[in-house]
Amino acid sequence: MASLLSLLNRWRLIATGGPEVPKAPANELIRFGILGAANIAPMALITPARQHPEVIVSAVAARDRAKAEKYAKKHKIEHVFGSYQELLDSDVVDAVYVPLPNGLHLEWTVKALRAGKHVLLEKPSVSNEREARELFEGEVGALRGKGKELVLLEAFHYRFQPAWALFLSLLDPPNIADVFVDMHLGNMFPPDDIRFNYGLAGGALMDLTYSMSVARGIFRSEPEECTSCEVQTMPPPYDTRCDHTYDATWKFPNGGTARTRGTLKGSWVEHMKTRLPAVVEHRPVVISEDKAKGEETLRTRKVTIVNFLMGMVWHRIDVEDTFVVRRKDGGEEVRRWTEKESKKGYAWEETGLGVDRKSEPYWLTYKYQLDAFVDRVKGREGTGAWVSGEDSIGQMRMIDMAYRKAGLPLRGVSE
Ligand SMILES: NC(=O)C1=CN([C@@H]2O[C@H](COP(=O)(O)OP(=O)(O)OC[C@H]3O[C@@H](n4cnc5c(N)ncnc54)[C@H](OP(=O)(O)O)[C@@H]3O)[C@@H](O)[C@H]2O)C=CC1
Ligand SMILES: O=C1OC[C@@H](O)[C@H](O)[C@H]1O
């Protein structure tokens, strides 16, 4: 009963955004501008900004000024621009949020950086590995060469939440044998959505890029090979180069394997049943030895996180350890038992990880992400969670590998 009440209270606070926090003095504020009156911005930036003392959303630009004005009124944003470039040219923002269709990420991120703005860039960072290198090595390198240190972050928000840190702390990457990540989403986007537009770098592997990111994050390494990738593509008259469903398998350097699958056209029943799990199976490892008895104990660990994407809504982390005591000489099994434990990480305090940071159970993953972004801009040490340029390049490389294996054209490549 108590946990049901706390769940309902958390959902109420998520829905209302919780209490608004007082703002720091004007000269300490990071002023954000949003490129595009995008659907995701209220959840990913506008609400988290209200919860952050050092952030305000001060401007929005849309291709159609009237649309930007309506959006600004609804979300109480002071400055309105009728084009993205006008916002970048203005001096009313210090940082820019780029929630544009994937195929426009490179162009507008480069323009924002050149305008001297920090950038919070929606996932997937760009269209392919070549573009990722152009951005994170070429462009960022050139700015650094000129002595400009601007923050650029691919918005893999799930990485910043306490539940994800707790989940990672339970893993033993060198001994991971197999990973399964499932992103079965109900059918919620119309066929003309940006996600199914090849020209805008759409496709399910792109949109649900998280599942590949999760596999890389679990192994803490880059895949050596995409061993298979089955896709289902949009039917004519829609763009048949756009996958709406994928099922890929991978080989990682420690010999471990992963399966990542996802769909944007799934059933809601299956969505509710599966709820975005990541399952990690380890190899047996020797954890102790009894020399006198000539025995050793092995542990085989399985860790599951359900709802890795937005843990604050609800999540569960299950650890299942199977122990085997065996003879060191012949390997004969002496004893076997299993221990199961369930863990939660709705706030840093609950994780027991010793992270000395304020957090609230109703904070969105995006709020933790914004905290990390602000910490970087201000030169403060964060919690350790970050997505480096190298990481973003590795991510696009993995997506390219999947498209190649599936026999589909890479995104962002004009024919
Ligand atoms: N982090 C997360 O949880 C999520 C991230 N995303 C990512 O955010 C980005 C945007 O997604 P989402 O908010 O759902 O998309 P929307 O379609 O709601 O927004 C995209 C915006 O892009 C602008 N735009 C510019 N050019 C075009 C064009 N040619 N066609 C269509 N739109 C255009 C539009 O701005 P204008 O107002 O100027 O017309 C529009 O508001 C994607 O990269 C997606 O992967 C999406 C959802 C969740
Ligand atoms: O978080 C998300 O869930 C649904 C997707 O379509 C979206 O683009 C993604 O970022």
Task: Please name which ligand lies nearest the alpha carbon of 309.
Answer: 2
Residue range 252-266, pLDDT digits in tens: 999 999 999 999 999
* Angstrom distance (rounded) from CA 207 to CA 262: 10
Residue 382 domain flag: no
Q: With H, G, I as helix, E, B as strand and everything else as coil, classify residue 189.
A: coil
The predicted structure's pLDDT at residue 413: 86
Return mean pLDDT, the chain: 97
Does the structure show a pLDDT above 60 at 176?
Answer: yes
Question: How many domains, the chain?
Answer: 2
Structural domain harbouring 95: 2-157
State the average pLDDT over residues 138-161. 95
Residue range 344-389, pLDDT digits in tens: 999 999 999 999 999 999 999 999 999 999 999 999 999 999 999 9
* Angstrom distance (rounded) from CA 33 to CA 104: 16
* Ligand 2-lining residues (CB < 6 angstroms): 207, 309
Residue 105 domain flag: yes
* Angstrom distance (rounded) from CA 193 to CA 175: 41
Task: Please name which ligand lies nearest the alpha carbon of 124.
Answer: 1
Does the structure show a pLDDT above 80 at 415?
Answer: no
Residue 55 domain flag: yes
Catalytic residue among 123, 343, 367, 405: 123
The predicted structure's pLDDT at residue 3: 84
Instruction: Give the chain's count of helices (H) and strands (E).
Output: 15, 15
The predicted structure's pLDDT at residue 124: 98
For residue 185, give the ligand 2 atom closest to its CA. 4
Q: With bands split at pLDDT 50, 70 and 90, how would you rate the model's confidence at 414?
A: low
Query: Peptide bond preceding 237: is omega within 30 degrees of 0, i.e. cis?
Result: yes
Among 43, 122, 210, say which to mutate for ligand 1: greatest number of ligand atoms within 8 Å of CB: 122
Does the structure show a pLDDT above 80 at 90?
Answer: yes
The predicted structure's pLDDT at residue 2: 75
Q: Which of 157, 185, 210 finishes a domain?
A: 157
Q: Return the H-helix or E-strand segment holding 217.
A: helix 210-219
Q: Are residues 298 and 260 in the same domain?
A: yes
What is the reported pTM?
0.97
Q: Which of 103, 125, 157 finishes a domain?
A: 157
* Angstrom distance (rounded) from CA 362 to CA 16: 10
Q: Are residues 75 and 12 in the same domain?
A: yes
Angle formed at CA 280 by CA 278 and CA 282, multiple of 5 degrees: 180
State the average pLDDT over residues 314-322. 97
Among 208, 246, 364, say which to mutate for ligand 2: greatest number of ligand atoms within 8 Å of CB: 208
The predicted structure's pLDDT at residue 46: 97
Task: Indicate if 123 belongs to the active site.
Answer: yes
